[in-house]
Chain A
């Protein structure tokens, strides 16, 4: 008992505040047990996705054998080339990219410029404008999709990708919110200094603050990229002609079409390819992405 106490005191003397608790063997055993438990849960979570990849390599005979098999035998990679040789799939990828590029470039610009104005400039009605924008986050898409559909039809946009591109060009409210938050942590002295140097307001944004918010902007653009990539509801409603379908609409139509033929390997291969870009981004930038999600809960 007393030995334990002195140990603790010694540890405290090390001034290592966070690790001043000494881990007892019992606690260590407990930690190992918990790790195994959590690892099993994690495996269960990931397993369906692994199974998805495994299925995509299986032959139809194996899939429809009626017995549970996990390892593809023989390993069939032909389904991937079959998916990639389908014009519809490729055009889905191209259409999605055609939406991503203008929206991220121009929308990223308008969002960061507005965030800069909200965080660093003084003007009347600032809070009211910001609240009005913030209200947009709370309005679900389902509520405005009918009028938007009517509007886009009237404008003659539903035979193109414009319904997905144009609204994005005006900026993204959650992005404005996060960038504004980020700009608050940058000292406003820079603003005054730029003013004294005769820098224009746009110049101050472009040359001083934009480089400073690069990191936050990058994270937000990444999340937006994923959102557009995975979007399904808006494209299904607004895109009338098949030639304009984005990737998610295409793989969903693959699902209904090839399920009738029981070609599950092809469906899974198409879905796997469709998931790769967002998963890659997530694996590379997971620390930034997870951090920005965690902040949204604490704030």
Chain B
């Protein structure tokens, strides 16, 4: 390393050149980030404190936090929020089913690839198309489900999308169906990461099947479980398309509407951009908290020492 000083001086000139090129290379995504993310967020914060409709003047209609106060007293908003949370019942159902199926696949059974493909097809299918399909499957008079129901019992089946409570059940069934494939694949990848010796050692120690599951599989899958939980929660707060396709008006007595559905209606149907933005900001805060929980929880109770 003789003459390293000289090299260093030269390097710093080169380094400067490298830096300038690097900044140029990352400029496009960064400019995109500023224009289509950072600026809109700041703008949303301002609009959320106004009664702006897009036609009247934004600065002349600032109302402080009045939109937020109104939202907290808005029964329709809370109804949509509760519905959004009720839909999340599908998350643990999907996780349990996904883990069980992945464990079955991981036993080295034949046809694993074919099965994985079949489970995954709903995930890659267009959300609009499969929502249309399930609206048809749930159809009260001619749908597949009630057809099967009638063939089996002779009686007419439930009004899947026409009843205030049934429509929630229907949505949960649909969402579990749509998302199951991705939890199966994530769990399967997690299972394949667990070293075989752990199970062999446990077997030699005489651990029962349940004990092996409880003390090896479950803790070592916890990072995957946590990942699925967080991403599903974030996704769960953004449910919109399936509601708009299957229950265009929000369902009977507005029972199927979600927070984003309500936000869309306020902003783009009623033109209340201020009120809609305030809902968007609340949504952003919720999702930010889930993300923070993600970082906190990862250290707290996820077992990462493999």
Does chain B have a CB within 8 A of A39? yes
Does chain B have a CB within 8 A of A1? no
Within 8 A of B (CB), among A255-299: 255-256, 259, 264, 267-268, 271-272, 274-275, 278-279, 282-283, 286, 289-290, 293-298
Select from chain A the residue with minimum beta-carbon distance to B290: A138
Q: Is the CB of B287 within 8 A of A138?
A: yes
Question: A-side binding surface: helix, strand, loop or mixed?
Answer: helix
Give the segment of B66-74, B75-83, B234-242 that binds chain A: B234-242
Q: Is the CB of B116 within 8 A of A140?
A: no
Residues of A within 8 A of B283 (CB): 140, 142-143
Contact of B133 among A48, A148, A230, A233 (CB under 8 A): A48
C-alpha spacing A4/B263, complex, angstroms: 65
Residues of A within 8 A of B210 (CB): none
Q: Is the CB of A114 within 8 A of B28?
A: yes
Q: Can you list, as one digit per residue, whether each of B230-257 has a CB less than 8 Å from chain A (1) or not (0)?
A: 0000100110110011001000000000
Contact of A146 among B47, B151, B200, B288 (CB under 8 A): B47
The smallest beta-carbon distance between A4 and chain B, in angstroms, is: 13
Does chain A have a CB within 8 A of B121? yes
The smallest beta-carbon distance between A105 and chain B, in angstroms, is: 13
Does chain B have a CB within 8 A of A150? yes
Select from chain A the residue with minimum beta-carbon distance to B259: A142
Does chain A have a CB within 8 A of B30? yes
Does chain B have a CB within 8 A of A34? yes
C-alpha spacing A185/B212, complex, angstroms: 35
Give the segment of A71-79, A80-88, A116-124, A212-220 that binds chain B: A116-124
Does chain A have a CB within 8 A of B296? no
Q: Is the CB of B273 within 8 A of A45?
A: no
The smallest beta-carbon distance between B284 and chain A, in angstroms, is: 4
Contact of B22 among A48, A121, A176 (CB under 8 A): A121
Does chain B have a CB within 8 A of A3? no
| Interface range on chain A (Cβ under 8 Å from partner) | 35 or more
Residues of A within 8 A of B32 (CB): 167, 169-171
The smallest beta-carbon distance between B145 and chain A, in angstroms, is: 10
Does chain B have a CB within 8 A of A157? no
The smallest beta-carbon distance between B3 and chain A, in angstroms, is: 17
Q: Is the CB of A140 within 8 A of B136?
A: no
Within 8 A of A (CB), among B17-42: 18-19, 21-23, 25-26, 28-33, 35-37, 39-41
Q: Is the CB of A171 within 8 A of B121?
A: no
Q: Is the CB of A146 within 8 A of B267?
A: yes
Select from chain A the residue with minimum beta-carbon distance to B14: A195
Known: A31-B107, A294-B185. A146 touches B21 (CB 8 A): no
Select from chain B the residue with minimum beta-carbon distance to A124: B19
C-alpha spacing A205/B18, complex, angstroms: 13
Q: Is the CB of A146 within 8 A of B44?
A: yes
Q: Is the CB of B144 within 8 A of A51?
A: yes
C-alpha spacing A229/B18, complex, angstroms: 37
Give the segment of B85-93, B162-170, B186-194 that binds chain A: B186-194
Residues of A within 8 A of B39 (CB): 147, 151
Does chain A have a CB within 8 A of B119? yes
Q: Is the CB of A229 within 8 A of B126?
A: yes
Q: Can you list, as one digit per residue, whether each of A51-76 has a CB less than 8 Å from chain B (1) or not (0)?
A: 11001000000011011100000000
Within 8 A of A (CB), among B101-122: 101, 104-105, 107-111, 114-122
Contact of A35 among B109, B188, B273 (CB under 8 A): B109
Residues of B within 8 A of A52 (CB): 133, 136
C-alpha spacing A18/B283, complex, angstroms: 47
Does chain A have a CB within 8 A of B65? no
Q: Is the CB of B245 within 8 A of A252?
A: yes
Q: Is the CB of B128 within 8 A of A230?
A: yes
Q: Is the CB of A39 within 8 A of B111?
A: yes
Q: Is the CB of A122 within 8 A of B37?
A: no
Q: Can you list, as one digit per residue, whether each of A228-248 has a CB less than 8 Å from chain B (1) or not (0)?
A: 011011000100000000001
Within 8 A of B (CB), among A152-176: 153, 167, 169-171, 173, 176
| Contacts A/B (CB < 8 Å), 19 sampled | A35-B111, A38-B109, A48-B130, A48-B134, A48-B177, A49-B125, A68-B147, A121-B22, A122-B15, A132-B33, A148-B40, A170-B33, A248-B128, A251-B128, A255-B135, A271-B126, A278-B125, A279-B121, A293-B186
Extra contacts, 5 of them, besides A38-B101, A132-B33, A290-B185 (Cβ < 8 A), are A39-B111, A45-B181, A151-B39, A271-B132, A279-B121
